[in-house]
Amino acid sequence: PTLSPQWVPTPAIMPMAEAVSVPCADEGELHAQLGAVLAGGYHVPEATHTEIDDVIRDWFHCVDGEAHERVAAAVMAAVNEHRTVRYAACKQHLHGVCAEGGGEGTGLSGLGRRLRYRLGLSPEWSFRHFREVPTAGFAGTDQAYDLPDVHQTLAQIAERDRRIGRPAAPPISAARARDAGEYVHRYAGQSIVLTRRPSSGGATETIT
């Protein structure tokens, strides 16, 4: 159980944390609650159980692997059917030359962004190397999950299926989105796109 010492002053009250905790008004009550826990006779109050269920439902919903479907449904329900995409504004944001959020910048970096935008070059174009140079900062972090990692994971899944005797699934291929032509504008992003061709033939299915 989560026991909350109510007599200890705190700079702020977290309603969600308090809702799923058992309040202890003083040290004596906390001592009694801990004694019941150690003796194996503690039972979480029914009201606290209800609060825990409510918090999980409101904040995390169901752990059923279908969150992506609920998110997609909510997004599509909120999107106007007759929406328009401001491609010009998107391109300006991509190149960092939009008036919003700080403008085009100054100095050589600002000049470089304006030149790339005016000349129709990729936002990742390097005038120093005279070619596209993808941003490498993210690749060196623990969160980076690049194409070789995806290939390794797909191979591990296929090997596991083979070991447990599961029928072979349609082959899945992976490629960088920039190489697969998934970006509207030329951009050296890090996204990976997965595609699957059904075993019975037919059109290739984009997974993600």
Q: CA-CA distance, 100 to 91, in Å (whole number)?
A: 13
Indicate the pLDDT class of residue 88, thresholds 50, 70 and 90.
confident
**Which own/partner contact pairs does 56-60 have at CB distance under 8 Å and 24+ positions apart?**
59/16
Q: Which of 89-103, 114-128, 172-186 has the lowest mean pLDDT?
A: 89-103
What 3-state DSSP class applies to 128? coil
Residues 6+ apart with CB under 8 A from 95: 113, 116, 117, 123
Give 109 or 74, the one with higher predicted confidence: 74
pLDDT(114) > 60: yes
**Whether pLDDT at 169 is above 90:** no
User: 33 exposed, middle or buried (CB, 10 Å; 0-12, 13-18, 19+)?
Assistant: middle
Mean pLDDT of the chain: 82
What average pLDDT does this structure show over 152-166?
A: 88
Are the CB atoms for 200 and 147 separated by under 8 Å? no
Length of the chain: 208
- Please give the residue that has the higher pLDDT: either 116 or 102: 116
